[in-house]
């Protein structure tokens, strides 16, 4: 007899046989380390790139209401003004997460008869946001300007190009100089999700577009407060009228509870903290790890704090990750559907919290892992 939940068991079995099964593991982050039960590992998986997420905050008050009702604590507008200035835009709008910032902005602007050009490696939240709009979606080859030029010729009412700044699973920068040229020539709106470049790349951590001198060419910035800023939440930054329309038409903005004000206070506190020294330390650490990995014999195409070691096989990648774990390094194996099947990888993320000793120890472990799994 079939049970009505047999399909759940069967789906889980299928995931397991493809080596794609995921399981939540209890852990606690402690400075540069991560604790699993009694095991303490060097954390090479943090998005808290500057290590700002380390300090605690009190005064935890919850308002539990939508921002358009009673949830708009005055701290939101203080932070939004700072974020707008940070991005050299007229206004900013905070969302509960970066994921929701994409869901809540792209469908407000892109409509039926419009065309969205989206990088094939764009984050799941961008993909989902494009699907929520009624626009035609045309996926272009990763960072391939020729493909964008070809695809943008399609007939459409309005045209959009959407890309990440630093690609979250590859660690490479979008070719924003060229992409912004094509956008300008075709009168297309350019949307940049800079979740990983914001507060990390460019002058004063203003982000990837600033790094390439094209900050003014971006029409809508989408970003996260949970990564480089070490706080929590997401935001968009753009012209006044785009923010105004978003407040009025964005379902993920209107129909959900506001972030608790203590989270906004936390983000404000992080925003005013001295971040430059940490940014310098982060980029020194990035250089040290990248040079170290290269001198051991690893190859990768990253120019940022996100470094993918592509192994290919899902099974081998899981075993590689387990070896690193047993030796004292936490670096998450990344598999389908986060990346394409057969392109499983170990994704390192570097933070400013790592010392020279952590890095040297990690490199030793990566060297022995590379030899053991014959990928060097």
Q: Are 232 and 225 in contact (CB under 8 A)?
A: yes
74-86 helix and 261-272 helix, angle to the nearest 10 degrees? 40
Using the contact rule CB under 6 A, the part of the chain among 63-71, 92-100, 153-161, 287-295 near ligand PLP is 92-100
Smallest distance, Å, CB 78 to ligand PLP? Answer: 20
By CB under 6 A, residue 125 contacts ligand PLP:
yes
- Tokens of residue 87, six digits: 């991005």
Residue 274 makes CB contacts below 8 A (sequence gap 6+) with none
Using the contact rule CB under 6 A, the part of the chain among 5-13, 29-37, 188-196, 366-374 near ligand PLP is 188-196
Smallest distance, Å, CB 40 to ligand PLP? Answer: 25
| Identity of the residue, 114 or 164, whose beta carbon is nearer to ligand PLP in the bound complex | 164
By CB under 6 A, residue 89 contacts ligand PLP:
no
Chain centroid to Cα 127, Å, comes to: 13
Q: Are 172 and 301 in contact (CB under 8 A)?
A: yes
Residue with tokens 């995921």: 22
By CB under 6 A, residue 290 contacts ligand PLP:
no
By CB under 6 A, residue 133 contacts ligand PLP:
no
Smallest distance, Å, CB 97 to ligand PLP? Answer: 3
Smallest distance, Å, CB 126 to ligand PLP? Answer: 7
Count the residues of the shown chain that bind ligand PLP, applying the rule CB under 6 A. 13
The SS3 assignment for 338 reads coil
Smallest distance, Å, CB 278 to ligand PLP? Answer: 20
By CB under 6 A, residue 164 contacts ligand PLP:
yes
Instruction: Using CB positions, name the residue nearest to ligand PLP.
Output: 98
Using the contact rule CB under 6 A, the part of the chain among 142-150, 190-198, 246-254, 301-309 near ligand PLP is 190-198
Torsional sign, CA 220, 233, 105, 304: positive
Using the contact rule CB under 6 A, the part of the chain among 94-102, 179-187, 239-247, 311-319 near ligand PLP is 94-102
By CB under 6 A, residue 48 contacts ligand PLP:
no
Q: What Å distances lie between residue 234 and 55, 59, 189, 250, 272, CA to CA?
A: 20, 21, 20, 14, 17
The SS3 assignment for 75 reads helix
- Tokens of residue 158, six digits: 């309005």
In the shown chain, the binding pattern of residues 215 to 234 toward ligand PLP, with x for contact by CB under 6 A and - for none, equals ---------x-x-------x
For ligand PLP, which residue of 46, 75, 97, 261 counts as binding (CB under 6 A)? 97
CA–CA separation, 249 vs 9, rounded Å?
40
CA–CA separation, 227 vs 229, rounded Å?
5
Nearest to 234 by CA among 218, 216, 252, 248: 252
Contact positions with ligand PLP (CB under 6 A) in 295-334 = none
Beta bridge partners of 92: 237
Nearest to 267 by CA among 197, 208, 198: 198
Beta bridge partners of 166: 173
Contact positions with ligand PLP (CB under 6 A) in 57-86 = none
Using the contact rule CB under 6 A, the part of the chain among 19-27, 79-87, 97-105, 348-356 near ligand PLP is 97-105
By CB under 6 A, residue 208 contacts ligand PLP:
no
CA–CA separation, 171 vs 293, rounded Å?
15
Residues near ligand PLP, by CB under 6 A: 97-99, 123, 125, 164, 168, 193, 195-196, 224, 226, 234
């Amino acid at each position: 007899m079939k049970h009505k939940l047999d399909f759940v068991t069967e789906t889980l079995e299928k995931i397991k046989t493809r080596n794609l099964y995921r399981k939540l593991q209890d852990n606690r982050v402690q400075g540069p380390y991560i604790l699993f039960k009694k095991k303490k590992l060097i954390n090479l998986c943090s998005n808290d790139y500057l290590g700002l997420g380390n300090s605690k905050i009190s005064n935890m008050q919850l308002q539990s209401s939508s921002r358009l009702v009673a949830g708009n604590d005055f701290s939101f507008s203080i932070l939004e003004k700072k974020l707008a200035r940070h991005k050299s835009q007229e206004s900013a709008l905070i969302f509960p997460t970066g994921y929701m910032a994409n869901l809540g902005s792209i469908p407000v602007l892109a409509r039926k008869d419009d065309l969205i050009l989206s990088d094939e490696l764009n984050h799941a939240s961008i993909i989902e946001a494009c699907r929520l709009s009624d626009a035609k979606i045309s996926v272009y080859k990763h960072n391939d300007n020729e493909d964008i030029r070809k695809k943008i010729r399609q007939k459409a009412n309005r045209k959009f190009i959407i890309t990440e700044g630093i690609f979250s699973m590859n660690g490479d920068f979008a070719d924003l100089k060229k992409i912004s040229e094509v956008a300008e020539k075709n009168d297309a709106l350019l949307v940049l999700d800079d979740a990983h470049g914001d507060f990390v790349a460019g002058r004063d951590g203003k982000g990837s577009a600033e790094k390439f001198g094209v900050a003014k060419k971006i029409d809508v910035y989408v970003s996260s407060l949970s990564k480089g800023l070490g706080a929590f939440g997401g935001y968009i930054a753009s012209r006044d009228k785009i923010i105004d329309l978003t407040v009025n038409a964005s379902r993920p903005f209107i129909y959900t509870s506001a972030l608790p004000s203590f989270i906004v206070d936390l983000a404000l506190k992080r925003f005013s903290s001295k971040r430059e020294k940490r940014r310098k330390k982060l980029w020194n650490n990035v250089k040290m790890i990248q040079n170290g990995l290269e001198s051991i014999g690893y190859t990768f195409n990253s120019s940022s704090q996100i470094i993918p070691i592509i192994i290919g096989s899902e099974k081998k990648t899981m075993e590689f990750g387990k070896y690193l774990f047993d030796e004292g390094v936490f670096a998450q194996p990344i598999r389908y559907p986060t990346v394409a099947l057969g392109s499983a990888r170990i994704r390192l993320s570097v933070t400013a919290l790592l010392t020279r000793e952590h890095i040297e120890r990690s490199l030793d472990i990566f060297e022995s892992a590379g030899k053991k799994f014959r990928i060097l």
